[in-house]
Structure 1
Amino acid sequence: MKGKILDFNEESRSGIISGDDEKRYNFEIKEWKGSQLPRAGSRVDFFANGDVAEAIYAEPATNGTSSKKIAAALFAFFLGAFGAHKFYLGYNKQGAIMLLVFLFGFILLGFPSLVIGIIAFVEFILYLVKSDEEFEQTYVTGYKPWF
């Protein structure tokens, strides 16, 4: 059966999976078959034994994640000062802030525009060094609009 991890508590080493059948299943870490600890929001494939999940495997990341990562990095590099990468990732408020600070920066002799350009370049580097799963968890599924 397939499902999604709703919660995982590292202290108790247990969690809850919401199955695609709309039932919830408890699990212990001993049933986890991955090399990394389970994370909330991850898609999994498992065997249901009553209300307990057994033999849990993480589903591989989809290719759509990496294309979103690459596109966001390219936007950050080429159009980052205008906030294009923020708009692309759905952070419209932060994109508008970057755009306005960059445009109004010319009035103040370019210093704010330079700072926005540096921020965009740092975000470009951060996007590239993160793994696809980490990028997805941080910027797409999670909500981390800055750095």
Structure 2
Amino acid sequence: MDGKILDYDFDRHIGVISGSDGQRYKFTGGEFKSKSGPPRAGLPVDFDPLEGNVAMGVYPMAGASHVAPGGKDKIVAALLAFFLGGLGIHKFYLGKTSAGVIMLLCGTIGWLLILPGLIICLIAFIEAIIYLVKDNQAFQDDYVYGTKSWF
């Protein structure tokens, strides 16, 4: 049966699919059969419905993009890291608020001691390069939807 992923909880590894029959089906991350990325809300899928509204063998539809709507642009993140990285602006853009606050404090008050400010600028420069070199799917998985805040 065809359907679309409505929601997926990365912490508990469970999700919900809206089937073409109008029913909702639960699935676990182990039932998602794709090597090109994790399940995302809005991703069209094909699955086997079981009794009790459970989905088994969940496969993404051919040509479906794993980058969910609301993803962040890696070029924008890299430019922010390169030009405003000493203030942690790229971290705020990616939703990594605590890392952004750390970089903001080290990039402002840290210059009083010189070394913290220099280290933060070096980290931002390295991150700008990493963002540009990483493929888009890996960038989205690591920095946008994942928990990776540094490097």
The separation in 2 between residues aligned to 1:91 and 1:2, in whole angstroms, is 28
Which residue in the other structure is 2:59 paired with? 56
Larger helix percent: 1
Offset, 1:63:
7.3
Offset, 1:44:
4.2
Which residue in the other structure is 1:18 paired with? 16
Q: Structure 1 regions of 5+ residues with no counterpart? A: 8-14
- 3-state SS, counterpart of residue 18 of structure 1: strand
Which residue in the other structure is 2:5 paired with? 3
RMSD: 3.2
Using the size of structure 1 for normalisation, the TM-score is 0.71
| Selected match of 1:113 from 90, 95, 117 | 117
Change (3 A) 1:40 1:62: closer
Q: Structure 2 regions of 5+ residues with no counterpart? A: none
The separation in 1 between residues aligned to 2:78 and 2:108, in whole angstroms, is 21
Q: How many residues are aligned here? A: 136
Q: Is the 8 A contact 2:25 2:49 kept in 1?
A: no
Q: Is the 8 A contact 1:81 1:98 kept in 2?
A: yes
The separation in 1 between residues aligned to 2:48 and 2:103, in whole angstroms, is 48
Counterpart residue identity of residue 45, structure 1 = V
Offset, 1:90:
1.6
The separation in 1 between residues aligned to 2:131 and 2:59, in whole angstroms, is 29
Offset, 1:144:
1.5
| Selected match of 1:123 from 117, 123, 127 | 127
Which residue in the other structure is 1:73 paired with? 78
The separation in 2 between residues aligned to 1:82 and 1:27, in whole angstroms, is 37
| Post-superposition CA distance 1:45-69 (Å, at most 9, x none) | 114443444572252135753x522
Offset, 1:87:
1.2
- 3-state SS, counterpart of residue 146 of structure 1: coil
1:140 aligns with 2:139: no
Using the size of structure 2 for normalisation, the TM-score is 0.70
Q: Is the 8 A contact 2:40 2:68 kept in 1?
A: no
Q: Is the 8 A contact 1:46 1:53 kept in 2?
A: no
Q: Is the 8 A contact 2:80 2:90 kept in 1?
A: yes
| Post-superposition CA distance 1:39-95 (Å, at most 9, x none) | 354734114443444572252135753x52211111001100111101111222221
